[in-house]
Structure 1
Amino acid sequence: MIETRAAPPLPPLAPAYSSAFTLRSIVDTVRRTKPLRLSDVSQALKHFRSLHQLTQRDLATLLGFDQSYISKLENGQNLRDLATLKHIATCLGIPVQWLGIPTEGSPSMQSSELIEVAPSVIRLSQTVRENGRADAAVDELWPLILRLDILAAQDKSDSRLFLTLAAAQAMLGVILGDLLPEEALWVSVHFFKKAVAIADEYGDAMLKAEVYRGCGNELRKHKQYTEAISYLEKAFFLAPDGITKGVAAALLARTYGEMGDKENFRDVIGSVLYAQDKATSFTPTFNPVTVHEVHVRGLLNVGQVTLLPSLLEQDTPRSLAVSVAPQWYVISQLTRAEAQFCIGKIDDGLANLKKALIGAELCKLPHQVQRAIRSVQVVEAYGPAKAVGDEAKILLSKLSRQTFQISSPQ
């Protein structure tokens, strides 16, 4: 039996497990054919150290314990103190139930309490992401999803619980789409597919539109264009207002552009521009800056280069005044650089590429750095361009060390 007596004060925690730890834990969970249930502390500590390539001393520092105590726990010393177990679960980013800690109250009571709290966590994660800190957002969202998953497995009749889980999974998919390198974007698609399954069974039109839109966008990044278009078209038709229709249309235009489909791109970008003109307000992800970026990149992809010079000069005061998510400035500067390379303005393009790399480092956007490396290759014969490309490769290596390398499942 686990003892619930008061435990002696524990040393201050090392900063809560970092986004790099959280990302590794997420991918480790996704890769497993069966859910991981760490039934004892020894197994939990060994798995955590193996996953994150930590020594016992590293783990002791993270937990605030002596290294010899970590060794004893890993060798099977019994631990029954509730406060210490909760402390370990928090540091490792796992639900307390995984360490055999009984939860208070019935599953229905736990579900009700979590459903009340979850929307605030999801909104906070969205706000943090829109302020350029997707790495911090993932630390808040992942523990919530783990707890919701456990409760959903215990009670399959609570539709509110499943809808809450779908909303959290969709938000995690968006965040992972920012943080993961291109070769790992299948993880983002994985969570969106789980959210889609729930939305299809329990969701209303608004939830379906949101989940389909996000799923389609991540599929586009993963170059699954046919499936992406299917989801994005459904999102467009289900969208409840002009802004959300505009967002879905912008993603459709981006997809058609990447496919090189000139005719469909022309038609859909017209709908996007119409939605922008009719809008009375904008969002951090649908505004003149984001629409301009979609338009420029689409023209590049479909080969309509002659239209680029005039479009690149269309920055307006309204565009600059609107609130834009920081990652969108990175994306926009990269696209502008690519367009400037295409029309021979290499120095201007390199200046924008450097700005984009600074933003990508601050926001931890490895796949935008990968895109920058590809972009500069077309002008690498120009001496200064090679230097910028080398800087981008160093930055990608740095971001990879901060997170990890992930390959697609075989």
Structure 2
Amino acid sequence: MSLLWPLVARLEARLEDGHSEREVLRLLAHARIGLGVALGNVFPEERLATATHWTAKSLDIAAHFKDPAFSSYALRMHGNELRKARIRGAAVDRLSHAAALAPDRETRAAVLPLYARTAGELGDSQLFDSVMQEADDLIGSTGHTSLFNPYTLHEIRLRGLVSTGRADVAYGWSTMDLARRRPSHRNGE
């Protein structure tokens, strides 16, 4: 983070001086996202609005490029920071938009778990169920992403079920998972 702040300040100063080359703009958008995410990881909850501010500042630049993958990425990161700041309605909106813009299965697979988690935290059981199902299907067919694997999806599912008032279903999922993982003991082994 100590390296991002001077970079962002310098790039913003260049922009104010009229230097708006594509490479500078793209770097500035990435730096703003990086700064916002870094702040979101270190700030206490009451300061998360600052993190959302920085990720939000990247959205206009990302949209300017008309690059669906880049816009989807910026919206995904901003939506996740909004979720952490408990601004869940706006987070669902940004993550829904990120999913809609995703140009390929891998990009969409990166958005859906965050979208499902946020829908669960919002308490929207229908949205949670549909996004969670799509995330299961997509991640199962594309393979694991760097952030999301079967264990993460399982945790998102359990938390979402509890958040949407279905703790009994979450308990059933948890029990079924334990039964599947239990090693079989044959012949007294």
Q: TM-score range by the shorter chain?
A: 0.7 to 0.9
Counterpart contact for 1:252–1:268, Cα < 8 Å: yes
Aligned equivalent of 1:215: 78
Task: Report the AA paired with residue 159 of structure 1.
Answer: R
* 1:73-100 deviation per Cα after TM superposition (whole angstroms, max 9, x unaligned): xxxxxxxxxxxxxxxxxxxxxxxxxxxx
Deviation at 1:156, TM superposition (A): 3.8
Are residues 1:295 and 2:163 paired? no
1:147–1:157 Cα change, 3 Å: closer
The CA distance in 2 between the partners of 1:156 and 1:258, in whole Å, is: 42
Partner of 2:184: none
Partner of 2:33: 170
Contact 1:163–1:203 (CA under 8 A) maintained in structure 2: no
Question: Is 1:279 aligned to 2:142, yes or no?
Answer: yes
SS at match of 2:81: helix
Which of 128, 148, 170 is equivalent to 1:308?
A: 170
Preserved CA contact (<8 Å) 2:35 2:54: yes
- Secondary structure at 1:185 match in 2: helix
In 1, the alpha carbon distance for the partners of 2:5 and 2:20 equals: 23
More helix by share: 2
1-side partners of 2:77 and 2:6: how far apart? 21
Shift of 1:221: 2.0
Matched positions, count: 179
Question: In the alignment, what sits opposite 1:187?
Answer: 50
What is the CA–CA distance in structure 2 between the aligned matches of 1:143 and 1:288, rounded to whole Å? Answer: 38
Contact 2:49 2:85 in 1 (8 A): yes
Task: Extract unaligned runs of 5+ from structure 1.
Answer: 1-137, 318-410
In structure 2, do the counterparts of structure 1 residues 282 and 157 end up closer, same or farther at CA, with 3 Å as the change threshold?
A: closer
**Take 1:142 and 1:185, find their aligned partners in 2: how far apart are those partners?**
17
Deviation at 1:201, TM superposition (A): 2.0
Corresponding residue of 1:330: none
Q: Which is higher, the Rg of structure 1 or of structure 2?
A: 1
CA contact (8 A) 1:243 1:286 kept: no
Report how far residue 203 of structure 1 moved: 4.6
Q: Tell me by how many angstroms 1:282 deviates.
A: 2.6
Cα offset, 1:227, TM superposition: 1.8
1:257 aligns with 2:111: no
How many angstroms apart in 2 are the aligned matches of 1:213 and 1:154? Answer: 30
**Structure 2: distance between partners of 1:282 and 1:255:** 18
* 1:50-80 Cα distance to aligned partner (Å, 9 max, x none): xxxxxxxxxxxxxxxxxxxxxxxxxxxxxxx
- SS state of the match for residue 148, structure 2? coil
1:6-17 → structure 2 map (5 Å cutoff): none
Relative distance call for 1:203 and 1:160 in structure 2 (3 A) is farther
In the aligned structure 2, how far is the partner of 1:169 from the partner of 1:189? 10
How far did residue 215 of structure 1 move?
Answer: 0.9
What is the TM-score normalised by the length of structure 2? 0.86
Quote the Cα distance in structure 2 between the aligned partners of 1:287 and 1:273.
10
Tell me if structure 1 keeps the 8 A contact 2:62–2:74.
Answer: yes
Structure 1's 281 and 305: CA in aligned 2 closer, same or farther, altered over 3 A? closer
Structure 2 counterpart SS, 1:139: coil
